[in-house]
Amino acid sequence: MAATKKNIVILISGNGSNMVAIAEAAQKENWQGKLGAGIACVISNRADSEGLNFARALGISTQVLDHKQFASREAFDAALQQLIDSYNPALVVLAGFMRILTPGFVANYAGRLVNIHPSLLPAFTGLNTHQRAIDAGCKVAGATVHLVTADLDHGPILAQAVVPVLAGDDARTLAARVLTQEHRVYPAAVRTLLAAR
């Protein structure tokens, strides 16, 4: 076990299902004992994020930093960075954090800022990934865990999970199938990153 605790800070905007999957894996697999790692805080840019309630129920500290209270994206990111840095994070994990981050923010966490995207990158960056995969006639879809860089959804790939696109799928059914794999692959990728630190 590492001498110093490897703090994880998770950023969410919504229901935080990937955050819950990571938190449950951390408890079940004893990341604290085996890796010296634990989730220090879950931060949301929305006070009504359902994920905050889930985090609290799991005994995890939470914070809210409302982006609407800031005059610019840069001002919000600066305040967010200050808040995150107060936890001395080994990893900053984006789990449905619906904000495009400024290059300065991303650079500050180079190599320790991780995201999951609901497509098999480099295909279908951005939004509406499931419908775009169906429209393109893809036979498979999936999710990608990657390091975050200044180029949206273009960072180094850490892990991927593949699911079939079935006849009759719509964006909702495909998204649900992909999400079950996100909940498997994201905690595993985070654990691998922590073990390497």
Q: What is the CA radius of gyration of the chain?
A: 17
The model carries a pTM of: 0.95
Q: Cα separation of 153 and 115, whole Å?
A: 8
Q: Is residue 132's pLDDT more than 80?
A: yes
Reported as a single tens digit per residue, the pLDDT across 87-98 is 999 999 999 999
Distances from the Cα of 158 to the Cα of 36, 131, 144, 188, angstroms: 21, 24, 8, 10
- Give residue-wise pLDDT tens across range 46-85: 999 999 999 999 999 999 999 999 999 999 999 999 999 9
Counting every residue written for the chain, the total comes to: 197
How do strand 157-164 and strand 140-147 relate by DSSP bridges? antiparallel
Domain extent listing, the chain: 6-195
Active-site positions read 117
Identify the helix (H) or strand (E) that includes residue 41: strand 37-44
| CATH superfamily to which 6-195 belongs | Formyl transferase, N-terminal domain (3.40.50.170)
What 3-state DSSP class applies to 26?
helix
